[in-house]
Amino acid sequence: MDAIITAGGIPQPEDPLYPYSNGNSKALIDVAGKPMIQWVLDALGNAKKVDKVIIIGLSPKNELVCKKPLYYISNQGRMLSNIVAGVNKALELDNKTQYVLLVSSDIPTLKGEMVDWLVNTCRKTKDDLYYGVCPREVMEKRFPDSKRTYTKLKDIELCGADINVTHVRMATEHLDMWESLIGTRKSPLKQAGIIGLGTLIRVFTRNIGLDELVAVVSERIGIKGRAIMWSHAEPCMDVDKPHQLELLRKDLAKQQKKATAKASPKKKPKVKSTAKPSSGAKKVAAFAAARTLTKSKAKSKKK
């Protein structure tokens, strides 16, 4: 499966991450000695289920590396336009492509084995969109100081993942609906007109469970959607605020230190010899000492 990384966002002066970006893409902010997106590329490169990687919003001049073939697309200006451009590139590379991974550039603690688990899990069914969620207890156990915002449902409190799987037809169908959802994602009142005011009220009053919510929203927007429950927090731990950036910088620096210590060969301690000289060795030493003394005395008499 090909992976599409969205990396076109550039923090503006009002953005809390602006002081860290130096006017460049958020994806290039340093995290433990690497651009943030490079950690994501390392994870995708180590994933056995990833074939090619398409980066949107950066260029080869950024000198990024990956074990998998890399392709670049310029920023299209809008989130949905970037996703559509990425899907079209995947189809250009292989017109038999059915599903793609949509990956954010700001989840640097992602690991290759997590990507493989997601791909394998999604391949068990034939849905249009697979959206990952992480229970609050999983997130707070791994990152207790993350201060994430959670959606509180009837049966669970959760946050969303930043790596998901979609069928390629989602890039050509329902575009108006997706444009509306993305454009109003920070305005619950505007979203009510899309997913239904009754559903929104049920979410606010915690009167609807996750499975029912997925079914209602999928029917409303005309797709087959499925929630993927993560047992790992890393795919859902993105960097939106300075304290989250510092948190992941420390976390990854600690991981690097452990990896370096594990890879370094251990020096064997020097063992002091405690063996006592044999009787034969003692006789040889005594003979040599006596001979030296005799020669010394003979020289003294000649003088």
pLDDT at position 268: 61
At 130, the pLDDT band (50, 70, 90 cuts) reads very high
In a domain, 293, yes or no: no
Cβ–Cβ < 8 Å for 17, 239:
yes
pLDDT at position 273: 53
At 43, the pLDDT band (50, 70, 90 cuts) reads very high
At 15, the pLDDT band (50, 70, 90 cuts) reads very high
pLDDT at position 297: 47
CATH number for 145: 3.90.550.10
Q: Which residue has the higher pLDDT, 147 or 171?
A: 147
Between 110-124, 130-144, 282-296, the lowest mean confidence (pLDDT) is in: 282-296
In a domain, 265, yes or no: no
pLDDT at position 173: 76
Q: Across residues 281-293, what is the average pLDDT?
A: 50
Query: Which pLDDT tens digit goes with each residue over 91-129?
Result: 999 999 999 999 999 999 999 999 999 999 999 999 999
Q: Across residues 165-187, what is the average pLDDT?
A: 72
- Own/partner pairs for 115-122, CB < 8 Å, 24+ apart? 115/3, 115/43, 115/44, 115/47, 115/49, 115/50, 115/163, 116/47, 116/48, 116/49, 118/163, 118/165, 118/228, 118/235, 119/1, 119/47, 119/49, 119/50, 119/165, 120/49, 121/228, 122/165, 122/226, 122/228
At 263, the pLDDT band (50, 70, 90 cuts) reads confident
Q: Is the model's pLDDT at 193 over the cut of 70?
A: no
In a domain, 209, yes or no: no
In a domain, 46, yes or no: yes
In a domain, 198, yes or no: no
Cβ–Cβ < 8 Å for 233, 114:
no
- Find the angle CA(181)-CA(143)-CA(257) to the nearest 5 degrees: 125
Cβ–Cβ < 8 Å for 227, 210:
yes
In a domain, 88, yes or no: yes
How many domains, the chain?
Answer: 1
In a domain, 58, yes or no: yes
For the ranges 58-72, 167-181, 274-288, the maximum mean pLDDT occurs at: 58-72
Q: Across residues 127-138, what is the average pLDDT?
A: 95
Which domain does 111 fall in, by range?
2-174+223-254
Q: What backbone torsions phi and psi does residue 64 show, to the nearest 5 degrees?
A: -90, 155
